[in-house]
Structure 1
Amino acid sequence: MGRVVAIANQKGGVGKTTTAVNLGASLAVAEQRVLLIDLDPQGNASTGVGCAPGSVVRSSYQVLLGEVAVEDAVLETELPHLHVIPSTPDLAAAERELFGDEDWATRFRDAIASIRMQYDFILVDCPPSLGTLTINALTAADLVVVPLQCEYYALEGLSQLTNTIERVRNGLNPGLTIHGVVLTMFDPRNNLANDVAAEVRRHFHVYETVIPRNIRLAEAPSHGKPVILYDAASRGSYQYLNLAREILDALPIQAA
């Protein structure tokens, strides 16, 4: 059964979607069957793997509300082992539409249950908030990967996220764990970045692989491609491949 991995950080601009797209692509290159689910109304993960805005017919919004079967919302990408369920701006209304429903927190988990056997990894790009959509993703997830930019408010945001994860673990998903923190847009010449990284390492498992600032990594989304398809020789591509290998090496092999 595929592992569900929530890529989560309620702070925007930390490389969350970049990590979801490029970790997914790198796992796919490693011949893992990967489904990327865009659960962010901004839809950047969708466009980052080639889904043109306005072209989406079936989306994660409809899957979440039970309007379409999850299998019917899956699209192929340029990478043979990478599929995507795209997002649309309609997803922003889900918080309001699910409000008051008894099963509001488990809708996503139930919706994707039938497709888990078809993939090795299901990566969920969460929105930059700790609302209904993120709670649904965390309730469905086995693991959380936290992209973190080493800046002044990083630790405060990480504390808020871990509190939310603990509440989900206590009430909805006791098996949920933070698999690791990935440092993004990291500049080792920056003293503050090094101080924050050291503090995070004191409290969390931080992946050895660090994602640097990289122009090709920043350019790739505008071309609708993961960086490995845009510039496979770039440092950003190389480091996301390393991150995928590190995660695969750390996880036990699961029976089919």
Structure 2
Amino acid sequence: MAFKVATANRSGGCGKTTTLTSIAALANNDMLEWIKQGWTIRGRKPRILIIDLDGQCDSSYYLGVADPDSLCMVCGERFDDELEPKERQPEDMCDGGRWHEPIPNIMDVLSADTSIREAIRATNLELVDLLPGTKHLEAAEKNLASATGAEFRLMDAVAEIEDEYDLILFDSPASYGLIAVNIFMATDDVIACVKAGMKEIRALVHLEHTIKQINTKLKHRVRPRATKIVAVLVTDAPGSVNHGKAYQDAVNFARDEYGELVVTPVTRDVRVIEAYSARQPVPLYDPSSNAAKAFGKVYPELIGKGVLPSQRTAAGV
């Protein structure tokens, strides 16, 4: 059974995707070492799956699938998905003169138009697969609202493949709508990512309340284990007190409020922006950067908390 972890917060720009892809990159490297030692899990290589549920599709971008809505599943070429039918020219068409079919994405799975196995793709990380996102997530979410069992769609889809993976990571949108409900139903553990500001950290109470409501009203009916916040990661933190006392006070406030849940803060670092442009997770883009070093500390802390698999726990030891 896979470890299932989501990064979450209602605000954007708080490092959810950067954290998620950094964890995936570090886990990928870790598991490659296991393979070198001749180690397998029930006769197969360890595997990681990222499910992109953010309309910006940044996880998809990081992992080599930029703008999934404009990638054709038939010919493999890029196309203009905003082009109106009357504007399409013969040279715009796919093989056989047909219009392009975009690769399946998360909403195709949630709407039951495509099976989860058909939608999963390989990425630029050897052991990491991706269920791509879509920029039309908000509109698709509204259509999903009237579907039977809408809150359980992601949980049911993940159940089909979770024994084939050892770590499943969910990238969340900056809202607590139906997509977030699906995520909190499907996942076990949540890493709360929050910027180093007093206002932002105080707002985590909304995330706590949302998860509690979902556990109470929905999840207890179908699964015995409640979803919980297992770590609080302060991002964009100052490198030193001299860089901003208010920010340092916010980090200290987080530790006062959440105690041992708070892991090593990730410091402000221009390499994070550069890594995104290079379409590489931070630990791979520049392992010597301050942000990469911080994630290098966060990763074993999460393993120690039982949030991420180690070689022993993945084997069920």
Partner of 2:138: 92
Correspondence for 1:246: 301
Mean alpha-carbon deviation: is it higher for 176-185 or for 25-34? 25-34
Moved more, 158-167 or 196-205: 196-205
Coordinate RMSD, CA, aligned: 1.7
Runs of 4+ that moved beyond 3 A = 205-208
Bigger drift between 222-231 and 59-68 goes to: 222-231
Alpha carbons 1:63, 1:73 under 8 Å: kept: yes
Partner of residue 147 from structure 1, selected from 176, 189, 193: 193
* Distance in 2 separating the partners of 1:23 and 1:201: 22
Is the counterpart of residue 220 in structure 1 residue 275 in structure 2? yes
Match of 2:120 among 71, 74, 86: 74
Q: Deviations over 1:42-61 (max 9, x none)?
A: 11111011112222601111
1:54-93 deviation digits (Å, cap 9, x = unpaired) = 2260111111111111111111122211111111112222
Deviates more, 1:234-243 or 1:107-116: 234-243
Q: Is the 8 A contact 2:283 2:292 kept in 1?
A: yes
Q: How does 1:29-48 map to 2 (within 5 A)?
A: 29-31=29-31, 33-48=47-62
Structure 2 equivalent of residue 200 of structure 1: 254
The CA deviation at 1:226 is 1.0
Identity, in percent, stands at 30
User: When the two structures are aligned, how many residues end up with a matched partner?
Assistant: 256
Pair 1:229 & 2:243 matched: no
What does the per-residue CA deviation read over 1:210-245, in whole Å, with 9 as the maximum and x for residues that have no partner?
Answer: 211111122111121112332222222222222222
Q: Check conservation: 2:255, 2:262, Cα contact below 8 A.
A: no
Structure 1 residue 35, shift from structure 2 partner = 0.8
CA distance in structure 2 between the partners assigned to 1:22 and 1:92 by the alignment: 26
Flag structure 1 segments of 5+ consecutive residues without an equivalent: none
The correspondence for 1:116, drawn from 140, 162, 168, is: 162
Structure-2 residue corresponding to 1:60: 106
Asked if the contact 2:18/2:282 (under 8 Å) is kept, the reply is no
Stretch of structure 1 that moved more, 47-56 or 246-255: 246-255
Equivalent position amino acid for 1:186 in 2: A
Larger-Rg structure: 2
Q: Which runs of no fewer than 5 residues in structure 2 stay unpaired? A: 32-45, 72-101, 221-225
Write the distance in 2 (CA, Å) between the matches of 1:168 and 1:200. Answer: 24
Relative to the length of structure 2, the TM-score reads 0.76
